[in-house]
Structure 1
Amino acid sequence: MYVIHSDKNKKLTLFAITWPIFIEILLHMIMGNADTLMLSQYSDNSVAAVGVSNQVLMLVIVMFGFIATGTSILVAQYLGAKDFHKANQFAVVSLLANVIIGFLLSILLFIFSESLLNLMNLPDELMNEAILYLRIVGAFSFIQALIMTIGAVIRSHGFTKDAMYVTLGMNFLNIIGNYVFIFGALGFPALGVTGVAIVTVVSRFIGMIILLFLLYKRLDGKLPLSSLKVFPKKEIKTLLKIGVPTAGEHLSYNTSQLLITYFIASIGTEALTTKVYTQNIMMLVLLFSIAIGQGTQILIGHLVGANKLEEAFHRCLRSLKFAIWVSIIIAVLFYLFSNELFAIFTDNPEVIATGSLLLFLTILLEPGRAFNLVVINSLRAAGDVKYPVYLGILSMWGVSVTVSYTLGIYLGLGLIGVWIAFILDEWLRGVLMLARWRSRKWQQMSFIKTNKKEDSA
């Protein structure tokens, strides 16, 4: 049992940190699936339009995520080193940075929504709804930037339940709002995709306000705003050391996925719809590994900050073993009930048949993803941020994109070929990441050690 302590003598174990993260991610998945399920009763085309728009929005979330990821790691390491003032200072700086980035990207999304969707090779029948959704949600995407940053700080302090409860409330508002505005319940107009977009923005805004209050409360109001009187050049530089490589990896993944979606769109709307439904179901499998990976990242950040490197080494390996077994078991269960799961969304027999086959392949895919989610997060938490980026870019484009086109389009295997490419990519990266962790090169890469060396120089 690996136990560390936060600034409030709060015991942090993998289970104590991970189960609220798991519930929070599950609620996010339910929110996304609720949108898909409700829209599927409205129109299959609307489902595909929102699905493609959300892929564009994921690129923007990557830009917010690089600050949030850097914040999470630095706050965890400084808490492990018992330097609470420095941890809070990075929290303040990261909030400012993401507010600025959020506003800029929100403006760009609103202006260039149509141009971005045209690049996706979207069928004409989906274009109007996709533009509408992207403009509304994109214009207020800065709210998500704040939510991600505040959530990263709160989780790093060990208060993972706070973020979970806020997400629960957002979920409730989202489902009720969707019911009212998609179908025109209680006398409200039936707005379809527009209704989904409005409800998404409103629920996020309310969640952001509550998280700001919780942040102030959990840190006892100890937010060193005075550190912003002078431009925090050094702090931002440190955040960027983590964030830019991390963003590079996520940006590479999401742009490669956009290109693969472009390939699938050339097959037809039915293939695109099948992909959206399948990935919505797959996310329910994936969330176990995501939660374990995020919880492990927080623990390893604390352990590395406290210079407990041997404990950090074994914590990663134990988390990985657990994540692999859980992902296999859940993937098998979902495949066994695949027809019933797809029947919730659609009655199209072709979509159900192809989607079920994709879920069978997911049994091979998910253990590979567990490697990446646990080990890459562990490497980042320890300060080894560049290696996963370099290797990730090579594998995503050299394997995932290339093999997707070769098998899926050139050889005509369609979505089956694309899923085989996903499997090869995840397993190649996963095995090489594990080898990197076992090499222990990350043990000399702590950001606290690096900053101290720079200060002494």
Structure 2
Amino acid sequence: MKNWKRILLLAIPSIASFASMTVTGMINLIMVGNLGALAIAIVGVSNVIMYNAWAMFSGIGHTVNYLVAQNYGSNTMKKGLDRTFLALIFGFIAGIVTIIVGFFGAEGILRLMGSPENMVKEGSPYLQIRFYAMLFSILTFTLFSFFRGIGDTKTPMYASILGNAVMVFFTYTLTYGNLGFPELGLKGAGIALFLGELSAFSLITYAFFKNLKDRFFIRFKPVFDLLESKLIFFESFKLGTQEFSKSMAMLVFTAFVTRLGTNALAANEISLSVMSLGFMPAAAFGSTATILVGQEIGRNQPHMAKKLGIETAKIGAMFILLLGTVEFFFAESISKIYTDEPAVFKLSASLIMISAFLQLFDAIANFFAGGLRGIGDTTFLLRASLIHAWGLFVPLSYIMVFVFDFGSYGAWIALYSYLTVFGITMMTRYFIRDFSKVGLKSANKKTA
């Protein structure tokens, strides 16, 4: 019970943090949904595009998370802070790249997705703003990862809640011109998201520098170390490519669904929005596994590290099963919150019911991948993601949608077949890995 309490104290604030982001995304989609199916489709496609942009650079934050957890456990936080400073530099460069891509390439990216011309025309300004906001998203996630690495999941929660509250407020006011604000439509929803990301970044940055002074008594004096820079770069590349391989596969999946028509795409995006509720506990417990495993590896307690990862997965699975039960029995009622178009909400409800319990395997993948990150098993995570996403998911999606002509149902059967196999792979790797042979990740050693 002591371990469960420790796990929940870390996981619950993370669930709240992810919940605020997920619920905000749902509220925004519901508010934007009043603009029609085209607006829902634009937001949905933009979400997938931006998730790919974020995933490409998310490895920076994931690397900080597990390295700082190990440094915290081994009482070498000066090194952990130096690594965080280096990661922020990489994050800033990545953010500038996304701004440039958004400025010049938003329209072309929507066309590449196979979007019809009206979607390209209406969606380009919105997508551009989303790219601009990505700078703050990357840096915020890196700082969130630092706090989680030292076992502080409450500070990221507060920053998330603030940022998402700002986002909801300005989506309500700027999209429809409420409370005396100008009516900007979909562009207003994009500006609201930008302001929300900026608010979260401002709070977490303040907390970070205050933390340095009050908790670690370290002044801002970043140290550039070539070996550490290489470690951060290559670990970030592996973990970022791992996420990017999965998100790119989802991009291709969405492109397949896009060709089924606007209603199919709208139903797909509503269903993904609802199923993202499962991402909350999955991501929260996955992050918790990284923290606990990393810290125990830092303390040279490999047996406890492995045990805590398994205990974290058990508790997380309970959350997912409870959530899946609610989604299964109230699928149509939930879908009707988003839209009153029968063709859309009926299809969406069916897709939600298909995935309500199968999402457990996606969660299992998150739980055990989090534990594997904690020990720095990054090369395996990269290889497994590439093989499963591109060797299984994409080909199976194509076959189910275009060869067998199963439409949206075929696409979602392919999605959850992939997630099931991937989840089993992550769990198997975790159980067979010998933690007694795992040591602290060092810049002087070849990364694994």
TM-score, normalised by the number of residues in structure 1: 0.93
Summarize the Cα distance change of 1:181–1:241 in structure 2 as closer, same or farther, 3 Å threshold: same
2:254 alignment counterpart: 261
In the alignment, the residues of structure 2 paired with residue 223 and residue 254 of structure 1 have an alpha-carbon distance, to the nearest angstrom, of 37
Alignment map for 1:170-189 (pairs within 5 Å): 170-189=163-182
In the alignment, the residues of structure 2 paired with residue 57 and residue 19 of structure 1 have an alpha-carbon distance, to the nearest angstrom, of 26
Unaligned runs of 5+ residues in structure 1 are: 5-11
Please state how far the C-alpha of 1:383 moved relative to its aligned partner.
1.1
Please state how far the C-alpha of 1:395 moved relative to its aligned partner.
1.3
Please state how far the C-alpha of 1:323 moved relative to its aligned partner.
2.2
| Aligned alpha-carbon RMSD (Å) | 1.8
1:246 alignment counterpart: 239
Q: Is the 8 A contact 2:302 2:438 kept in 1?
A: no
1:130 alignment counterpart: 123
Which of 69, 73, 78 is 2:66 aligned to? 73
CA-to-partner distance for each residue in 1:68-116, whole Å, 9 max, x for gaps?
1111111000110011211111111111221122112211222111111
2:287 alignment counterpart: 294
Alignment map for 1:269-284 (pairs within 5 Å): 269-284=262-277
Q: Is the 8 A contact 2:95 2:134 kept in 1?
A: yes
Which of 203, 225, 231 is 1:210 aligned to? 203
Which of 223, 226, 236 is 2:221 aligned to? 226
Summarize the Cα distance change of 1:170–1:413 in structure 2 as closer, same or farther, 3 Å threshold: same
Q: Which amino acid aligns with 1:98?
A: G
Q: Which amino acid aligns with 2:237?
A: V
Please state how far the C-alpha of 1:225 moved relative to its aligned partner.
4.2
Residues 1:87 and 2:80 aligned together: yes
Please state how far the C-alpha of 1:348 moved relative to its aligned partner.
1.5
- Select between 69-78 and 196-205 the one with higher mean Cα deviation: 196-205
Residues 1:53 and 2:46 aligned together: yes
Please state how far the C-alpha of 1:223 moved relative to its aligned partner.
4.8
In structure 2, the residue corresponding to 1:298 is in which secondary structure? Answer: helix
Residues 1:398 and 2:380 aligned together: no
In the alignment, the residues of structure 2 paired with residue 175 and residue 58 of structure 1 have an alpha-carbon distance, to the nearest angstrom, of 19
Q: Is the 8 A contact 2:99 2:135 kept in 1?
A: yes
2:97 alignment counterpart: 104
In the alignment, the residues of structure 1 paired with residue 212 and residue 23 of structure 2 have an alpha-carbon distance, to the nearest angstrom, of 30
Summarize the Cα distance change of 1:265–1:82 in structure 2 as closer, same or farther, 3 Å threshold: same
- Select between 176-185 and 312-321 the one with higher mean Cα deviation: 312-321
Q: Is the 8 A contact 1:400 1:425 kept in 2?
A: yes
In the alignment, the residues of structure 2 paired with residue 38 and residue 283 of structure 1 have an alpha-carbon distance, to the nearest angstrom, of 17
Unaligned runs of 5+ residues in structure 2 are: none
CA-to-partner distance for each residue in 1:356-383, whole Å, 9 max, x for gaps?
2111211342111121100011111101
2:380 alignment counterpart: 387
In structure 2, the residue corresponding to 1:220 is in which secondary structure? Answer: helix
Alignment map for 1:265-414 (pairs within 5 Å): 265-414=258-407
Which of 386, 398, 413 is 1:420 aligned to? 413
In the alignment, the residues of structure 2 paired with residue 58 and residue 223 of structure 1 have an alpha-carbon distance, to the nearest angstrom, of 34
In the alignment, the residues of structure 1 paired with residue 218 and residue 139 of structure 2 have an alpha-carbon distance, to the nearest angstrom, of 16
Q: Is the 8 A contact 1:249 1:392 kept in 2?
A: yes
In the alignment, the residues of structure 2 paired with residue 397 and residue 445 of structure 1 have an alpha-carbon distance, to the nearest angstrom, of 29
Please state how far the C-alpha of 1:324 moved relative to its aligned partner.
2.4
2:188 alignment counterpart: 195
Aligned residues: 444
Q: Is the 8 A contact 1:92 1:223 kept in 2?
A: no
Q: Which amino acid aligns with 1:432?
A: T
Summarize the Cα distance change of 1:453–1:286 in structure 2 as closer, same or farther, 3 Å threshold: closer
In the alignment, the residues of structure 2 paired with residue 82 and residue 401 of structure 1 have an alpha-carbon distance, to the nearest angstrom, of 44
In the alignment, the residues of structure 1 paired with residue 356 and residue 36 of structure 2 have an alpha-carbon distance, to the nearest angstrom, of 30
2:162 alignment counterpart: 169
CA-to-partner distance for each residue in 1:139-162, whole Å, 9 max, x for gaps?
232111111111111121222111
TM-score, normalised by the number of residues in structure 2: 0.95
Please state how far the C-alpha of 1:233 moved relative to its aligned partner.
1.5
Q: Is the 8 A contact 2:86 2:232 kept in 1?
A: no
Q: Is the 8 A contact 2:249 2:389 kept in 1?
A: yes
